[in-house]
Chain A
Amino acid sequence: EDKVVQSPLSLVVHEGDTVTLNCSYEVTNFRSLLWYKQEKKAPTFLFMLTSSGIEKKSGRLSSILDKKELSSILNITATQTGDSAIYLCAARGSTLGRLYFGRGTQLTVWP
């Protein structure tokens, strides 16, 4: 059965801290891994990873995929209160557009 597991499920930090969110996957015919940020309703796209070992960066956020370990991490440096959200990891298999989601990591950043 295809599945995606995220850890931790919940994380509370103070502004300025660095956090690492984990995602592992078991998806048949894996094609790519995606990270989303969900604040209120709709998930907003952060990264798509297809190649192992190549880091993608956007400001204070970065992510990398390890296909050997079937995992990915999302790093956020110098966290801000605006980073408080649920971070979702999703894996894509062979079916165009179809994603398998993890339960998400609820990140809370205190001032």
Chain B
Amino acid sequence: SAVISQKPSRDICQRGTSLTIQCQVDSQVTMMFWYRQQPGQSLTLIATANQGSEATYESGFVIDKFPISRPNLTFSTLTVSNMSPEDSSIYLCSVESGNTIYFGEGSWLTVV
């Protein structure tokens, strides 16, 4: 199994600012995944964070808006840049371990 810690768990952010979310895993994993869940919606993959290379972004998500770092095999960050109210969501970090996919507790961002 994998234990994933995410910080912050929740935050209220001003429009136009940026916030960095951290994801720490208790074991080394090859890939880490960042999802967004807007209110009332399901989870949508933002990008896949690979150690030692640039993140791979899904259609509709760009690096300038959601820069990702992956400095080692247990840690990743996602930054939500120049936030607007539409960015109010839960952001979730996910990893695959032992053929099962685990999620962090999520970071609930509200942009005002």
Partner-B contacts on A (CB < 8 A):
34, 36, 41-45, 48, 88, 90, 92, 95-99, 101-104
Known: A97-B33, A98-B33, A99-B45. A41 touches B106 (CB 8 A): yes
Whether B73 sits at the interface, judged by CB under 8 Å, is no
For chain B, residues 1 to 34, give those with C-beta under 8 angstroms from any C-beta of chain A: 9, 30-31, 33
Question: Which residue of the partner chain, among B42, B95, B100, B106, contacts A45 with CB atoms under 8 Å?
Answer: B100
Q: Which residue of A is nearest B44, CB measured?
A: A101
Question: Which residue of the partner chain, among B42, B43, B94, contacts A97 with CB atoms under 8 Å?
Answer: B94
CA distance A80 to B106 in the complex (A): 26
Please tell me if the beta carbons of A42 and B101 are within 8 angstroms of each other in the complex. no
Question: Which residue of the partner chain, among A34, A41, A101, A102, contacts B105 with CB atoms under 8 Å?
Answer: A41
Number of interface residues of B (CB under 8 A): 24
Known: A41-B106, A48-B99, A96-B96. A103 touches B31 (CB 8 A): no
Please tell me if the beta carbons of A34 and B101 are within 8 angstroms of each other in the complex. yes
